[in-house]
Structure 1
Amino acid sequence: MTTAHRAGPRVHGLPPALRAPFEGRTWREFGYLLLSLPLSIVFFALALSLTAAGAGLVVTFLGIPVLAGALAMCRGFGALERVRARALLRLDVADPAPLPPGGNGALGRVTALLKSGTSWRHLLYALVHMPWAVFAFSVSLVFWSYGWCLLTYPLWQWVFPLYAGIDGLQIYGDDTHDVYLDSPLELAATSLIGLLFTLAAPWIIRGLATVDRLLVTGLLGPSRLEGRLVELESGRGVAVDTAAADLRRIERDLHDGAQARLVALAMDLGLAKEKLHHDPDTAATMVDEAHGEVKLALKELRDLARGIHPAILTDRGLDAALSSAATRCTVPVRVHVDLPTRPTPATEGIAYLTASELLQNISKHSRAHTASIDIWRTENRLLIQVHDDGHGGADPTGHGLAGLAERLQAVDGLLLIDSPTGGPTTITAELPWRT
């Protein structure tokens, strides 16, 4: 029988400064910077020439398809650059949104290309990246090559006296005298300078690669507006699904609870009516039982209405509504609401439902002794913090908390969970003051 052991974290014997020249990240990013120069020259030349030709021919209407072709070509360049960034920079940039519909046929595609802001950003990248690539190529290559050459100079210094007929690497020479790096002290000083260059080069390369990451992300990825539209579409879908789930829950609660109880009540009252004349005592007993069923049905309806949007929330606000909800929790709950004014009804309702669901989680899962709810406003955000001294270990991927996080995200909200094993648990919800 073999026993598998989980590999622990890798322990490095060298500090990061000494390890950087040998790391794969440094070599990948250095390769990216070297490859950027020839590619950017090709991109720049083609993009500039086609764009200039298209702009010059616009008056003849031939420039419009030429300009559209230049933009399509730049989008192709952008796709290649995103692949290169994923492979060498480990930068996962999402593809931008596809071209918007612009009609049928070639004219429609030309119109879509010219109207697309993404296409123009790709053109801007092709034009801007070339001068930056020249600078990054030169700086990275100089530091990297000079560093390793000077560091290893004592190993290849013998080439000069053997093949060049000179004592070493010449650093100065005129008609009167020459200076060569050939003495042991000079060899040691050269290696020391090379070591400094070699240790500095990886961090210079990483800094240059960071600028490339910003260019790729900012010009070749989805725009902020596109990302925001995706978020809103996703949030709208979550809101619709949540509303549908809430409606199904209300329907189920009515069907299995109050509705079933009222049906049974109607049947009991019908039987009592039949026994009223010939067995009044039994009829009275059945009416008394029906009265109790009515009270239970009313209680269930009140609980259901309170879970949707309690009247106390509308009349008196979050402080009173959450204080009432806290009395139904299985542990003592301190409620503190510090709001200068009441938020919008939509925000207030979401805040109440969020806090109520977190209180239910405390009752069901936390095994806590005490809990607290704090609500306050910071700038244009409403913050809700629920704390308990239970055993912790709340799972953010669980159905309850994950669903709550999705509902908050649908209204541009946020849910933060801090629940180490052993407790305590602190969950903070953030909502816009006005939704």
Structure 2
Amino acid sequence: MVSAFPVNVLAFVLIVALFSAGIGTLVVWLGLAILLLATKVVFGFAQANRALIRGTLGVDIPAPKIAYDDSGTFWQRYVRKLTHPQMWRNLAYLLIAFPLACFELPLALVGIVILPVGLFVLPVVAALHVLLAKWLLGPTETEALTQKAEHLQASRARGVDAAEAERRRIERDLHDGAQQRLVAVAMGLGRAKNKMDADPDAAKALIDEAHADAKLAVSELRDLARGIYPAVLGDRGLDAALSSLAAKCPIPVEVNVLIEPRPPAAVESTAYFIVGECLTNIAKHSGAKEAKVNAWREDRPTGVLVIVEITDDGAGGASLRPGGGLAGLADRAATIDGVMTVVSPLGGPTVIRADLPCAW
């Protein structure tokens, strides 16, 4: 409340001054330019208040997604922005926030000195302030539903693309691996059948060769099945599965998993494949000497998340490029409405994090 006071005082003074000057000079067209500046100030202070509430009260108020009609002249587009309902909701909040801050500031100072006020009164006032901010600075119910529908549609499209890419990978592995082996087995057994009576020794050699190919085909099919859903993940859970991946990595990998109870299978498999692909990339491309995998459960007001974080001390420079491997992992996370972020400055370290929502 103390930190919000100077922001709201400055916002109130600038907005009143700019709108007064803009309306007063409309007759000489200068007012339109001043009102344009006032509009930008209103949206700027609205965003500043969202950031302030997020930083001090821990409440994230998403900015409404405003779609404007880009047709017409510059001034026609500006007038549409000026008359947009969100503009007036932002303006209403900033005008109300000043007298509200005048009431909250002394109350906050009293709360610092008088402990019961700080413990029991200020949280109630803060909650009411957040409700007002959500009502005026956040999206309306219709806008929120529209944004959620757009997000779900995008996630579904990315999920379909990820599933199609996975299907092509499985089809390619079957065609180039097990299918070729089985064709070789069939041809070898056919040749052995023809030679069985005339040349039993050659037939035996062909059968031995077919037997070896059959074992290789079984091994490849087992590897393919493990790539679809590893048995250790289903039997022993994410901790054992990630430890198995770390054991196969050519560089040392520290694994810490604190998730109880076990998350749903879709969340476990998504986390497993993200870690597996990241460790493969680290071993091949990063030049890292060691890596760390952390996975934990986090309870938030919006729901429960399983968070997976992979860190390495390599050269850095990784990014979510369209069509790249990390983008494919982000698409896989999006199939369960998850979000993946990559922080990888040149010189490292690289931190890849996946936030996967789930419900037990």
Equivalences for residues 139-218 of structure 1 within 5 A: 218=138
Measure the CA separation in 1 of the matches of 2:140 and 2:267.
37
Match of 1:228 in 2: 148
Report the alpha carbon displacement of residue 217 of structure 1 after superposing the two structures with TM: 6.2
Q: Which runs of 5+ in 2 are unaligned?
A: 1-12, 27-34, 48-62, 70-82, 99-132
Match of 2:344 in 1: 419
Structure 1, residues 302-342: CA drift from partner, whole Å, max 9, x if none? Answer: 11111111122111111222222233323232322222211
Match of 1:250 in 2: 170
Measure the CA separation in 1 of the matches of 2:250 and 2:134.
52
SS of residue matched to 1:426: strand
Match of 2:319 in 1: 395
Change (3 A) 1:130 1:266: closer
Match of 1:404 in 2: 329
Match of 2:212 in 1: 292
Structure 1, residues 152-188: CA drift from partner, whole Å, max 9, x if none? Answer: xxxxxxxxxxxxxxxxxxxxxxxxxxxxxxxxxxxxx
C-alpha contact 1:275 1:283 (8 A) present in aligned 2? yes
Equivalences for residues 83-122 of structure 1 within 5 A: 85=39, 94-95=65-66
TM-score when scaled to structure 1?
A: 0.53
Report the alpha carbon displacement of residue 125 of structure 1 after superposing the two structures with TM: 7.2
Report the alpha carbon displacement of residue 418 of structure 1 after superposing the two structures with TM: 2.5
Measure the CA separation in 2 of the matches of 1:28 and 1:370.
54
TM-score when scaled to structure 2?
A: 0.63
Structure 1, residues 120-169: CA drift from partner, whole Å, max 9, x if none? Answer: x9779779969988x99xxxxxxxxxxxxxxxxxxxxxxxxxxxxxxxxx
Larger radius of gyration: 1
Mapped pair 1:307 → 2:227? yes
Match of 1:340 in 2: 260
Measure the CA separation in 1 of the matches of 2:345 and 2:164.
33
Report the alpha carbon displacement of residue 93 of structure 1 after superposing the two structures with TM: 7.1
Match of 2:9 in 1: none
Measure the CA separation in 2 of the matches of 1:89 and 1:408.
33
Match of 2:107 in 1: none
Measure the CA separation in 2 of the matches of 1:36 and 1:221.
32
Measure the CA separation in 1 of the matches of 2:351 and 2:357.
20
Match of 2:194 in 1: 274
Measure the CA separation in 2 of the matches of 1:125 and 1:378.
36
Measure the CA separation in 2 of the matches of 1:281 and 1:97.
82
Equivalences for residues 34-45 of structure 1 within 5 A: 34-35=21-22
C-alpha contact 1:335 1:372 (8 A) present in aligned 2? yes
C-alpha contact 1:367 1:390 (8 A) present in aligned 2? yes
Measure the CA separation in 2 of the matches of 1:421 and 1:374.
22
Match of 1:354 in 2: 274
Measure the CA separation in 2 of the matches of 1:339 and 1:127.
42
Change (3 A) 1:351 1:128: closer
Amino acid at match of 2:181: R
C-alpha contact 1:329 1:360 (8 A) present in aligned 2? yes
Of stretches 218-227 and 412-421 in structure 1, the one that deviates more from structure 2 is: 218-227
C-alpha contact 1:235 1:410 (8 A) present in aligned 2? yes
Report the alpha carbon displacement of residue 358 of structure 1 after superposing the two structures with TM: 1.0
Q: Which runs of 5+ in 1 are unaligned?
A: 1-25, 40-80, 99-120, 137-212
Match of 1:429 in 2: 354
Q: Percent identity?
A: 42
Match of 1:260 in 2: 180
Measure the CA separation in 2 of the matches of 1:83 and 1:222.
29
C-alpha contact 1:32 1:88 (8 A) present in aligned 2? no
Match of 1:177 in 2: none
Measure the CA separation in 1 of the matches of 2:43 and 2:20.
10
Amino acid at match of 1:269: L
Computed over aligned residues only, the root mean square deviation of the Cα atoms, in angstroms, reads 4.2
Measure the CA separation in 2 of the matches of 1:275 and 1:87.
90
Match of 1:374 in 2: 294
Amino acid at match of 1:429: A
After TM superposition, the runs of 4+ consecutive aligned structure 1 residues lying more than 3 A away are 26-39, 81-98, 121-133, 213-222
Aligned length: 271
Change (3 A) 1:284 1:221: same
Structure 1, residues 239-259: CA drift from partner, whole Å, max 9, x if none? Answer: 112112211211121112111
Amino acid at match of 2:186: A
Measure the CA separation in 2 of the matches of 1:38 and 1:224.
37
